[in-house]
Amino acid sequence: MFKQILGKLPKKTSAKFWDNGESQTLDNNNNQGGGDEVLSQRTSSNGDTSLDCVSSFDVLPRLRDVSISEKQELFLKKLRLCCLVFDFVAEPQQNFKEKEIKRQTLLEVVDYVISSGNGKFPESVIQEATKMISANLFSNPHRQWKNKTPEALDLEEEEGSLNPSWPHLQIVYEFLLRIVASPNTDPKISKKYIDHTFVLKLLDLFDSEDPREREYLKTILHRIYGRFMVHRPFIRKTMNNILYDFIFETGKHSGIAEFLEVLGSIINGFALPLKEEHKLFLTRVLIPLHKLKCLPNYHQQLSYCVIQFVEKDCKLADTVIRGMLKYWPVTNSAKEIMFLNELEEILEATQLTEFERCMVPLSRQIAQCLSSSHFQVAERALYLWNNDHVTNLVRQNSRIILPIVFPALEKNGSSHWNQAVKNLTENVLKVLSDTNPDLFEECLHKFQEDQQKAEDTKKKNGETWRQLEEIVASMAK
C-alpha cells in the first residue's frame, strides 16, 4: 500500500524540479520572493532551523537518485529540512508550495527507514531523527490548536476535534513509529535520545482531541514500552500519575481509552505471581476509574484490564467485586448496565472460594437491580442466571443467596410493569424451583409470611393512629 502511494511520487517530483528549474532560469526576482516568504515563516515559527535549511529548501535531490555512500548524508539533510514547522492554525493559506515539499520530503524519509537494509542506524541518524520528531510534535503551533478548543465541548462526544496540522503530523508519527519498530534501530543507542523527557512529552500528547493522533500515539507507546525495557517503570509511573490526575482532579482527558488499551497488553504480560506494585495499580487506579461520569468512553478497555487481573490471580475477584459494589451507580442506568456486563465477565473468572467471600453484599446489589424500575437494568440482572458458571456458583450457595434475591424475584413476577421482565422472572423462578424445590418452598412461605406480617403491622399501625385520633377528639370535647 505504501509502495503504491510512493509510486506516485516520481512523476510529480520530477515535474516540480522542472518547474523550479524553469522559474530559476526565467525570473530571479521570483526566486528571491520565495526566499523572503520562507524567511518570514521561519521568523514566526519557533523551530531551531538553521539558515542552511532555508536556502536549500527546494533543491535537494531524491534519496533514490544518489549513490549509497551519499544517501545517509542526504537523509540527514532532509531530516534537518523537516525540522521547519509550518503553522496550519494561524496561517492555513500560506506557504502551500513549501508545505507540499515538506510533506513529500517526510514521505521520502519514512520510505528510507522502511526500505533500508540490514545495517544499523548510526547515532547521528537517531539524533537527527529525534530532533526532527521533537520539533514537529512538541512545537508551539501544536499547542495553539489545542488551546483554541472550546471549553464547553461535550466529554462524551465520540468525534473529537481534528488537528489541522495532520497532513504533516501523520507522516511524522509514522516516521517515529517506524524508527521505534525498525529492526535497524539499536535500543542501546536510541534510549539516549528517546529518553524520559521525550517519553513524558509523548504521554502529554495523549490528551489530544484528534482520535487519529491518539491512535498513532497508542501504537507508538505500545512499541516503546515493548522495546525499551529500561523505560517501563517510568512509563507505568507516568501513566499512573496521569490517571490519578484524571480520577481525583480534573475528570477530563481525551486519551484514557487509549491508555487502557496499552495497559491491557501490559497487564496481559504480567508475570505470576503478581507484584505488589501491580496489585496496588488495580486497587488504586483501575477500580476508582469506575466512578467517573464519562465511564462509557473507556469502559470496554477498563473492563478488559480488570478481567485480565482476575484471570491472572483469582484471589483478586473479591477485591474487584467489592470495589465495584462501592462505586455502583444509583441513578445512572447506562452505567449500571455496564457494571452488570463487567460483573458477569468477572464472575466467569471467579472461583467458588472467592465468590463465597463477597456473595452476600453482591446478592443484595443484584436484588436491587432486579427490582429496578428501569426494565433494561432488571432484564440484564436476570440474564446473569443464563450464565452457566454464575448459575453454578449460585447453586452451590443457594441456601444463602436465594433468601436474599427471592423477594425481588417474586415481586417482579407478580407486579413489574414490563411484560418481558415478568416473563424472564417467571422463567428464572422455574429454574430455581426445579433446582432446589425444598428451599424454594421455604423461601416462598417465608416471603408470604413476611408479606402477611407487613400487612398485619400496617393494620396495627392504622388502628393505633385511629385510637390516637379518638383520644384527641375526646380531649377536644
Partner 1 sequence: MKAKEMKKESNLARLVKSPVRFLIMARDAYIRSMTSCSAGFIRGGGGSGAFGLPPGNFQICEAPTTVLPRSFTLNSATTTRERCRFVTRGASSGEITVETTAMKRQMDLRRNYSCMVMGRIDEEKVCDQFEEEDYSKKRKIGGVFTTHQQ
Residues numbered 269-308 forming contacts with partner 1, rule: CB under 8 A: 269-271, 296, 300-301, 303-304, 307-308
Nearest-approach distance from CB 118 to partner 1, in angstroms: 16
The site map against partner 1 for 10-49 (x = CB under 8 A) is --x---x--x------------------------------
Using rule CB under 8 A, residue 227 touches partner 1: yes
Nearest-approach distance from CB 232 to partner 1, in angstroms: 8
**Residues sharing a CB contact under 8 Å with residue 386, sequence separation 6 or more, in sequence order:** none
Nearest-approach distance from CB 239 to partner 1, in angstroms: 13
Given a contact cutoff of 8 angstroms between Cβ atoms, the answer to whether 38 and 91 are in contact is no
- Give the binding range for partner 1 (CB under 8 A) out of 118-126, 188-196, 428-436, 454-462: 428-436
Nearest-approach distance from CB 52 to partner 1, in angstroms: 24
Using rule CB under 8 A, residue 415 touches partner 1: no
Binding residue for partner 1 (CB under 8 A) from 78, 102, 191, 222?
222
Query: Cα separation of 188 and 191, whole Å?
Result: 6
Site for partner 1 in 314-333 (CB under 8 A): 333
Using rule CB under 8 A, residue 107 touches partner 1: yes
Given a contact cutoff of 8 angstroms between Cβ atoms, the answer to whether 107 and 6 are in contact is yes
* Residue carrying C-alpha cell 522495546: 227
Using rule CB under 8 A, residue 108 touches partner 1: no
Q: Which is nearer to partner 1, 5 or 471 (CB)?
A: 5
Q: Which is nearer to partner 1, 68 or 271 (CB)?
A: 271
Length of the chain: 477
Binding residue for partner 1 (CB under 8 A) from 137, 220, 266, 358?
266
Question: CA dist 339 to 44, 299, 424, Å?
Answer: 51, 9, 20
Nearest-approach distance from CB 65 to partner 1, in angstroms: 19
**Residue 35 CB-density burial (10 A; 0-12 exposed, 13-18 middle, 19+ buried):** middle
Nearest partner of 146 among 88, 238, 208, judged by Cα: 208
Using rule CB under 8 A, residue 223 touches partner 1: yes
Query: Cα separation of 83 and 240, whole Å?
Result: 32
Site for partner 1 in 378-397 (CB under 8 A): 379-380, 383, 386-389, 391
Nearest-approach distance from CB 220 to partner 1, in angstroms: 12
Given a contact cutoff of 8 angstroms between Cβ atoms, the answer to whether 381 and 338 are in contact is no
Q: Which is nearer to partner 1, 181 or 361 (CB)?
A: 181
Binding residue for partner 1 (CB under 8 A) from 179, 199, 401, 424?
424
Nearest-approach distance from CB 351 to partner 1, in angstroms: 12
Question: CA dist 463 to 271, 377, 453, 454, 468, Å?
Answer: 68, 39, 15, 14, 9
Q: Which is nearer to partner 1, 375 or 447 (CB)?
A: 375
Q: What is the DSSP string of 64-99?
A: GGS-HHHHHHHHHHHHHHTT----TTT-TTS-HHHH
**Residue 57 corresponds to which cell in the numbers above?**
529548501
Site for partner 1 in 61-100 (CB under 8 A): 96-97, 99-100
Size of the site for partner 1 (CB under 8 A): 78
* Residue carrying C-alpha cell 489530544: 208
Query: Cα separation of 54 and 71, whole Å?
Result: 20
Given a contact cutoff of 8 angstroms between Cβ atoms, the answer to whether 299 and 336 are in contact is no
Q: Which is nearer to partner 1, 266 or 401 (CB)?
A: 266
Using rule CB under 8 A, residue 262 touches partner 1: yes
